[in-house]
Structures are given as structure tokens and as C-alpha cells.
Structure 1
Amino acid sequence: MTVPTAVLLARDDVTIRRFAERDADVRRWTELDRGGAYLALEAPELLAADVRAFFGPLASA
């Protein structure tokens, strides 16, 4: 996949990074120590900051 991809993992999420990077153009990888399935409700400031950090550089490209 050639689409720039961001991965944000909350406390309870499990994934294997090498598979994600093998199959996608991972530009940002973030692992949080808090949050969970409802991250947008539990820690909206963390989600918003990560979305901004991912899309900021892409907007100027």
C-alpha cells in the first residue's frame, strides 16, 4: 500500500509492527500508555495531537 499510514496504539492494543510496516507505508507509529477502545472519549487531547502531528507534514508536501 502506498498511502501514508499512521498507527496509534492505546494501552490495550496489540500488534506486530514489522507486519504493519511490511504491508503499509507507515509514516508515524505512536504507542500510548493510557486510553483504550474509546480513545476519542477517554483522551481526546492525545488523539487530536497525534492526528495533527501526522497530517501536518503531509499538508506541506
Structure 2
Amino acid sequence: MRPLVFEAGERIRPLLGVSVFPKEIAMPPRSQVERVFDVRRWTEMPAGGHFAALEKPDLLAAELRAFFRLLR
């Protein structure tokens, strides 16, 4: 499997919200993500992991609502 590689100056258009759960498998640093994506929200979550929707559904739902509230 090849890693995801972007050309110099390449940008992904849709806005991005990131919820970083402490027990997630892996997450690139914010500075690297912001090189390609328009990060509108980046939240370090207090609990949860790879299966956040099952582990911490209330936290995830609140974070999704907060992200989309920014777009109103």
C-alpha cells in the first residue's frame, strides 16, 4: 500500500473538522494536515478511540454539531 502523497501546493477543497481521540490508532500532526486541508475545527477529545461512535457517541455527536454550526 502506498502512502497518500500530495503535490506541492495541492489543496483539498472541502472544509475539514478533526476530532483527535486519545486512543486512536494514528493521526498525522496538525501542521501536516493543514498543508493540504482547510482545517476549520481541530479538537483534542478527552476520551475514546478508533470506534468513537460506539465508545463515546455523545462526545462525537456534540463535536459534529459544533463543526456544522460553524458552516451556518
TM-score past 0.5 threshold: yes
* TM-score (normalised: structure 1): 0.86
Q: Does 2:50 align with 1:37?
A: yes
Alignment of 1:1-61 (within 5 A): 1-13=12-24, 14-58=27-71, 60=72
RMSD: 1.1
> What is the distance in 2 between the residues matched to 1:35 and 1:57?
24
Secondary structure of the 2:13 match is coil
How many aligned residue pairs are there? Answer: 59
* 5+ residue gaps, structure 1: none
Inter-partner Cα distance in structure 2 for 1:44 and 1:12: 15
TM-score (norm 2): 0.74
Identity of aligned residues (%): 44
Mark the runs of 5 or more structure 2 residues left unpaired by the alignment: 1-11
**Bigger fraction of residues in helix:** 1
Inter-partner Cα distance in structure 1 for 2:70 and 2:18: 16
